A and B are shown apart, each in its own frame.
Chain A
Amino acid sequence: MPFAERRWGLRHDGSGLLTHWRAYLLLLPVTGIIGLLFGGGLVMAFLQSIGAIGLLGSGQISLTAYQTALANPEFLRSLTLSVYIAIVATGLSTVFSIGLAILLRTAGRWASFACQVTLPIPHLVGIVGVLLLLSPSGLISRWLYMLGGIQSDQDFPLLVNDTANIGVLLHFLWKEIPFMTLILLAVLRGINPAYEMQARALGASPWQCFWHVTLPMMKSGIFSSSLIVFGYIFASFEVPFLLGSTRPRTLPVLIYRAFTDSDLTRRPEAIALGIILSALSMLIVVAYSWLVSRNYQSMSRV
């Protein structure tokens, strides 16, 4: 608690049941709304998936939808693809964001502002941009043609709707790096530079100083921001739908297709898949919090 001494009133709030109730009261609207909407929605979805309620619900509770969902051979391929995209995009975004944040830390305000300007650009706009830039008839392809690198648009490598999902990954990097950098830059600016000076004065090289002092101090910021980014990418729909490979499809795309299928009997399966996806994401959050708490324990042991 770095600002504990500045939090003058804290001591007086932490006493007794009465003040706890005040805190819970202040939190009630937020927890109520999130619980009711998100939790409630999830419960209703689950009830539909087991056939307790819904259009085709016979009132008979069964796990058929889950059996169908898991038996679908595309499920595993979709899951693998989703995990692959989320891990690669998050990993690369994290590394680039750390680098960019370090660069921007000592650069002028103009630089960090310029990197923020793409922040408010909607995903769909980014998708349009990536399509018009990277498709075989896109801008880069035209540049290469002009420079004589390729003879026709057939020679340009497939970067959108490709099996390796390069376009999806590039889009996420383009979108998430500024977001993560913004957070990490704020974390970096909150670090007292005296620690780094002290490390240098004790004989650490710039690289050692970064690896042993700066990076550990950024750790919780890196963890949290990469968790948010991972969760977002894992659950993202529009980007893989419009930029990704057509087969296999990511899990959200698969679910969307099943849910909007003209064959209404596929609905329970779609909902079951949705529940599985939610469960997987929750597992990630739990694993993350376990990882973080373990990390802090090991830190306190040192």
Chain B
Amino acid sequence: MSQLVLQNLTKHFSGATAVQDLWLEVQAGEILALLGPSGCGKSTILQMIAGVLQPDRGTIALDGKLINRVPPEKRDIALVLQRGLLFPHLTVGENVAFGLKMRGINRAEREEKAIAMLHQVQLDGFGDRKPSALSGGQAQRVALARSLVIRPKLLLLDEPLSALDANLRAEMQDLILRLQTQTGVTLLIVTHDQAEAVVMSQRIALMFNGRLRQVDSPEQIYQQPSDETVAQFMGGVNFFAIQAQGQQWKLPNGLVLVSQHRHQGAIRATIRPEQIQVFTEMRSQNNIIPATVIANRFTGTQRRLTLAIAANLTLQAWVTPTQDFHVGQAVWAYLPPENLWYFSQASALPQAVEVP
């Protein structure tokens, strides 16, 4: 049974739509990422679920009960905000025990639980410090501990890691996932970082301009984006026009690719840059097309090649850095049939997407 059910959720701010007709179900124990560019309404959804914001329309149900009218403190839903927001006038220990105190739990039990929770986030002995004495990562771990110690049914994380630097972020991601496994809490993470959403979640709900675009596993969103905007947001860079006749896909320059997908007529096709293989010699195989290297950038983990295929068609191919190429080199690109994906022209809403 779905633990959290959002139906027809809508919210406007001073005339502008923040969230429009949102339908979403989250299973118990699931990790779901709400992904989208900043300002797309995902934080608004989190605040409505937490109960600190009232929807204009629609319902929110937790464990089969409608909670629209339940005040936030009675929802058993814990929200962790981006900045951690540890109460500066309380010690770390008091911060962690805050929710327990609000529930009227006695001091001894509060302390015991807070100490155990701090242990779980690897901050043993930090209880008596002031939040100002913590690093950003430590503060965020305390914020997590503070929310988990009350055993919420649902944990909402609003951009929990965006203020941290890259190394710390990976570490925190691991910690969050480990805590989720230990507690089994249902987890909803809001993020604008597609890499973070992919690493952390079992399902991604992708949003643009207050509307849900696609809800799928990370793999599916990567491999089979619902439209070009989604593909672009997930880092897709190769888009080209195709005339399809069944599995025979004809490029504008006349070359024919074979795909696993059948379609008739004009479509837009895409392939992820890391799935294109580049050879220095011709191979007799389907989907091998001649190309010229017109740019070659080394990123450390990849070599990013720009390949000219035809007069107005270039493709990005990201290959292993051990392969070496030079600009102007004639090469052969292999576009694996299983990795070719398409959207029918109609569904590809042309839309400017602000990619962070």
Contact = CB atoms under 8 A, between A and B. Distances in A.
A249 B12 CA distance: 62
Contacts of B12: 15
B109 to A, nearest CB: 32
B45 to A, nearest CB: 13
B285 interface: no
Contacts of A14: 13-14
Interface in A1-20: 8, 11-12, 14-16
A16 B81 CA distance: 25
Nearest to A9: B52
B56 to A, nearest CB: 9
A11 B41 CA distance: 12
B53 interface: yes
Interface footprint category on A: under 10
A233 to B, nearest CB: 39
Interface footprint category on B: under 10
A14 B14 CA distance: 7
A16 B13 CA distance: 8
Nearest to A14: B14
B276 to A, nearest CB: 41
Contacts of A8: 81
Contacts of A15: 12-14
A15 B81 CA distance: 22
A266 to B, nearest CB: 57
Interface string A16-28: 1000000000000
Interface in B32-89: 47, 53, 81
A15 B44 CA distance: 14
A17 to B, nearest CB: 11
Contacts of B13: 11-12, 14-15
A15 B54 CA distance: 12
Interface string A229-270: 000000000000000000000000000000000000000000
A14 B12 CA distance: 11
A11 B18 CA distance: 11
Interface string B3-25: 00000000011100000000000
Interface in B198-219: none
A12 B41 CA distance: 13
Nearest to A12: B53
A14 B13 CA distance: 8
Contacts of B47: 12
Nearest to B54: A12
Interface string A73-103: 0000000000000000000000000000000
A8 B52 CA distance: 12
Interface in A106-133: none
Contacts of A16: 14
A11 B53 CA distance: 11
A200 to B, nearest CB: 30
Contacts of B14: 14-16
A23 to B, nearest CB: 14
A12 B81 CA distance: 16
A16 B14 CA distance: 6
Interface string B291-325: 00000000000000000000000000000000000
Contacts of B81: 8
B241 to A, nearest CB: 41
A15 B12 CA distance: 8
Contacts of A12: 13, 47, 53
B173 to A, nearest CB: 24
Given A11-B13, A12-B53, 9 more contacts: A8-B81, A12-B13, A12-B47, A14-B13, A14-B14, A15-B12, A15-B13, A15-B14, A16-B14
Interface of B: 12-14, 47, 53, 81
Interface of A: 8, 11-12, 14-16
11 contacts: A8-B81, A11-B13, A12-B13, A12-B47, A12-B53, A14-B13, A14-B14, A15-B12, A15-B13, A15-B14, A16-B14
Q: Nearest 5 pairs between A and B by C-beta?
A: A15-B14, A15-B13, A11-B13, A12-B53, A14-B14
